[in-house]
Amino acid sequence: MAKLLLGVGAGIAAYKAVELVRQLQQLGHAVRVMMTPRATHFVGPMTFAGITGEMPSIDLFDAVQPVMTHIELSRWADLLILAPATADILGKLAHGLADDLLSTQALAFRGPVLVAAAMNTAMWEHPAVQANVATLQARGVRFILGESGILACGDVGAGRLAEPAAIAAAADRILAPQDLDGVRILVTAGGTIAPIDPVRHIGNPSTGRMGLAIAESARRRGATVTLVACHTAWTQLGEFDLSGVTIARVTTTDELLAAVLPAMGETDVLVAAAAPADYALAAPSPHKLKKTAETLTLTLIPAPDVLAAVGAQRRKDQLLIGFAAETQDHLTHGRDKLHRKHLDAIVINDVGRSDIGFGASANEVVWLARDAEPESLPKADKRQVADWLLDRVAGLWDVRQVPAAAAG
């Protein structure tokens, strides 16, 4: 969890800062808010107090909060976000002016700064504003801009505040460790289906959220990520920041195998979080089956074992991470799968509980690596689980590189 200081400027888009706080909190970060006095005309301080648990800091000479406590804001934070950042804020920051609480904290802050500018198009395009932006960018300040569109004044053009979800994702990327920089990671997510006829199929409750969270986090940590999204994950793609991720979509287990095997040639780490169907129909009907009989008999045959196929062809320099969805004897079954499919580690989760695993926003997992004791993570949001798992993937990858470096 990181500590984020949000500075809210006096713009009509200030109300979106409330949603930004919520988005940042959902990512697990602690957020404190400061406002310019005029920003309070656009959104009330009590609104921020209601979602952060404390009143935002506004006045440098607030009688309730001594002056020195305001200096501590810049020392407390890991990242400073200015949203919305008005032309006035950009000018002060570029020229080292500090005549209010927000500008004082911005100058005193020594960490990374993310600016989400918002103003009228004519103001944004003014040479003075663009010169200030260039000055700040040259000093390492990061900017995130919204798409051109209709502004509050009715004009059409640049200057809109970026969406809160996009700002939160940008902040999260800045804070993420780059411990997977340059590592090529292939992630599979979601459940495949076994078609019965053109309108019916056999499937499972997997939503793919766990795999999508892993792909999102791996990209954020610097990896080159390819995602194979199985059928049930397609509707979840928009819930995650997958910018920069190469995405392939598959429906059946045969298609999953056909997508994964060729991709392994350019892969360092496979995280197989998908839930492929274990069986397929021997002869799916090319036409819709009519409901004419009391019973319907289907002949099922084993579907391809994707992990086993990959494990049989793996290179020694690759890492293979599998998942085991279990309802009983979790460690026993997980350990058996780990060795039988030639994996380096396996993630075991209990799909017999309704509050975790398939269809849930949270998960509770056990990480089991070869020649190591199991590690358990209590119930947590799947994004937090993804980061926890990738910490261990990064550790395994670093260990794997030591012999290679020594040999070189």
pLDDT digits (tens, 9 = 90+) for 358-369: 888 899 999 999
Domain with CATH 3.40.50.10300 in the chain: 184-281+296-407
pLDDT at 249: 98
Q: Which amino acid is at 237?
A: L
Selection from 72, 58, 388, 43 nearest residue 210 by Cα: 388
For 158-171, how does the pLDDT look when each residue is reduced to its tens digit (9 = 90+)?
778 999 999 998 99
- C-alpha span between 106 and 14 (Å, rounded): 18
What's the pLDDT at 293? 79
Amino acid at 131: A
How far CA 222 is from CA of 26, 86, 213, 397, in Å, comes to: 22, 31, 15, 14
**Catalytic residue status for 153:** yes
25, 31 contact by CB (below 8 A): yes
Q: Which residues of the chain have pLDDT under 70?
A: 63-70, 148-157, 402-408
Whole-model pTM: value is 0.78
Respond yes or no on whether the N-terminal peptide bond of residue 164 is cis (omega within 30° of 0): no
Whether residue 391 contacts residue 214, with contact meaning beta carbons closer than 8 Å, is answered with no
Range(s) within the chain of domains with CATH label 3.40.50.1950: 3-175
Query: Domain 184-281+296-407, what fold?
Result: Rossmann fold (3.40.50)
Note the pLDDT of residue 111.
96
Q: Catalytic residue among 46, 107, 134, 153, which?
A: 153
CATH topology of domain 3-175: Rossmann fold (3.40.50)
- What is the rounded CA–CA span in Å between residue 320 and residue 339? 11
pLDDT at 162: 93
Each residue's pLDDT tens digit, 318-350: 999 999 988 898 899 999 999 999 999 999 998
